[in-house]
């Protein structure tokens, strides 16, 4: 069982997104789609039809590895610690429905031991003087700022194939969402890649992924991920306040204190880079020099922060490859969280009303809804980068 990551990365990876609130795909249509993908298996796995082949077969393999949680709990071979975590996960799953108005369906009632450190591996890329992620477009789901691979070697091969002028990052992803489209197959399962997280973090992850089943907006990664991140934070706070015991609270307090400090550090660097890149009066050569200074300061500040933690190394792997793509991926999870949080408060802290308000907002044009979220969050804006995997997952 892997140790918990200090921050998490959750983007859905394999292209089964719906427009607006997630709706089940008709079984026959999905069956034809999967059959078509399976027939393309002779292609290379990093691009073209081969990419869809690895996506479909990778998810099918994951589903085949899963078993109902009740089976694991009744199995004498299941370690006691795993049984305890699965029982906690089921309490979290029930809480998600009764207290957070999240979908009541087949997802997270099964568990799979993947025997690897990540569910998938994401590739992100950005130009040398921008934090705007490169996007890839797919049928139905639209354009997203990452590509997900079930095999790390395939992810790194694709990353190496990208133009040299792009800055690229590859990172492990412990969970992803199929937006409820595969609930008829058993839903998204709990995974060995995250079941060992601290209780509060495990709750947040489940709430985040279920939020993706509430709503998905085509071609707007920042909206989708910021909404799910807001739900995970709001729901996680409620779980800890109402359900967690003293030991879980203490464990989470240590875990979250480091995360908050690291968020502040990365937010400062990201803001400095955004200001440099937005300066139209500066020459590119000067921007590159200023960028190098910001990166050097970031590494120095991280070293000092790490020392204050007594040498905790959970963020080392991410910091070692930090670049524009890394910071750009963070922004997708951070940009609109304050606006969504303010909207939740405006709706009286009622999750069902909040979801209805978000659905209505999603119907507006892209720029219009961004303007609304910016205005809502202007008084309460705070930094929340995308979750980041720890060195223990590598």
Nearest to 58 by CA among 178, 160, 162, 224: 178
Q: What are phi and psi of 182, to 5 degrees?
A: -110, 20
What would the pLDDT profile of 59-114 be if each residue is shown by its tens digit? Answer: 999 999 999 999 999 999 999 999 999 999 999 999 999 999 999 999 999 999 99
- Report the number of secondary-structure helices (H) and strands (E) in the chain: 14, 8
User: How many other β-carbons are positioned within 10 Å of the β-carbon of residue 196?
Assistant: 18
Residues 232/208, Cβ–Cβ less than 8 Å: yes
In this prediction, residue 328 carries a pLDDT of 92
In this prediction, residue 38 carries a pLDDT of 36
DSSP strand pairing (110-112 vs 190-191): parallel
In this prediction, residue 53 carries a pLDDT of 87
Residues 189/114, Cβ–Cβ less than 8 Å: no
Strands of the sheet with 166-173, listed across from one edge: 147-149, 120-127, 166-173
CA distance 89 to 69: 10
In this prediction, residue 9 carries a pLDDT of 33
In this prediction, residue 380 carries a pLDDT of 62
Averaged pLDDT in 10-residue chunks for the chain of 394 residues = 33 29 37 39 57 88 94 97 97 98 97 94 96 87 87 95 96 89 88 95 96 92 93 96 93 91 94 97 97 98 95 92 94 86 96 98 96 88 40 31
In this prediction, residue 185 carries a pLDDT of 81
Name residues whose C-beta falls within 8 Å of residue 98's C-beta, 6 or more positions apart in sequence: none
**Measured CA angle at 177 (ends 157, 75), to 5 deg:** 100
What would the pLDDT profile of 263-275 be if each residue is shown by its tens digit? Answer: 999 999 999 999 9
Residues 60/16, Cβ–Cβ less than 8 Å: no
Which residue is it, tokens 């890839």? 136
Residues 185/331, Cβ–Cβ less than 8 Å: no
- 3-class secondary structure, 132: coil
CA distance 296 to 30: 49
**CA of residue 300 relative to chain centroid, distance:** 27
Residues 386/332, Cβ–Cβ less than 8 Å: yes
Q: Please give the model's pTM, rounded to 2 decimal places.
A: 0.81
CA distance 248 to 253: 8
Report the DSSP beta bridge partners of residue 122. Answer: 148, 171
In this prediction, residue 137 carries a pLDDT of 86
């Amino acid at each position: 069982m892997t140790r918990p990551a200090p921050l998490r990365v959750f983007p859905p990876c394999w292209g089964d997104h719906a427009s607006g609130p997630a709706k089940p795909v008709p079984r026959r249509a999905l069956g034809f789609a999967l059959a078509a993908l399976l027939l393309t298996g002779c292609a290379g796995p990093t691009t073209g039809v081969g990419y869809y082949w690895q996506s479909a077969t990778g998810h099918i393999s994951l589903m085949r590895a899963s078993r109902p949680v009740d089976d694991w709990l009744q199995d004498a071979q299941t370690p006691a610690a795993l049984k305890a975590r699965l029982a906690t996960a089921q309490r979290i799953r029930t809480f998600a429905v009764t207290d957070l108005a999240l979908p009541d369906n087949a997802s997270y009632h099964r568990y799979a031991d993947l025997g690897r450190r990540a569910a998938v591996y994401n590739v992100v890329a950005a130009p040398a003087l921008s934090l705007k992620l490169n996007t890839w477009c797919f049928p139905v789901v639209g354009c997203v700022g990452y590509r997900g691979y079930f095999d790390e070697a395939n992810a790194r091969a694709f990353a190496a194939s990208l133009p040299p002028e792009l800055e690229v990052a590859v990172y492990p992803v412990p969970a992803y969402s199929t937006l409820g489209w595969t609930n008829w197959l058993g839903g998204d399962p709990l995974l060995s890649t995250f079941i060992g997280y601290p209780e509060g973090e495990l709750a947040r992850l489940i709430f985040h992924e279920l939020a993706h089943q509430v709503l998905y907006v085509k071609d707007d990664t920042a909206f989708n991920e910021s909404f799910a991140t807001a739900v995970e934070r709001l729901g996680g706070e409620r779980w800890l306040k109402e359900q967690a015991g003293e030991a879980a609270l203490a464990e989470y307090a240590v875990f979250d204190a480091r995360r908050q400090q690291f968020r502040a550090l990365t937010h400062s660097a990201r803001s400095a880079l955004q200001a440099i890149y937005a300066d139209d009066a500066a020459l590119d050569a000067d921007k590159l020099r200023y960028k190098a200074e910001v990166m050097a300061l970031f590494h120095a500040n991280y070293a000092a922060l790490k020392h204050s933690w007594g040498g905790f190394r959970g963020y080392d792997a991410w910091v070692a490859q930090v670049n524009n793509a890394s910071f750009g991926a963070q922004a997708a999870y951070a940009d609109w969280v304050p606006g969504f949080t303010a909207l939740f408060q405006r709706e009286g802290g009622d999750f069902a009303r909040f979801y209805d308000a978000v659905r209505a907002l999603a119907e507006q044009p892209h720029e219009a809804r961004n303007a609304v979220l910016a205005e809502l969050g202007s008084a309460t804006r705070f930094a929340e980068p995308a979750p980041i995997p720890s060195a223990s997952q590598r």
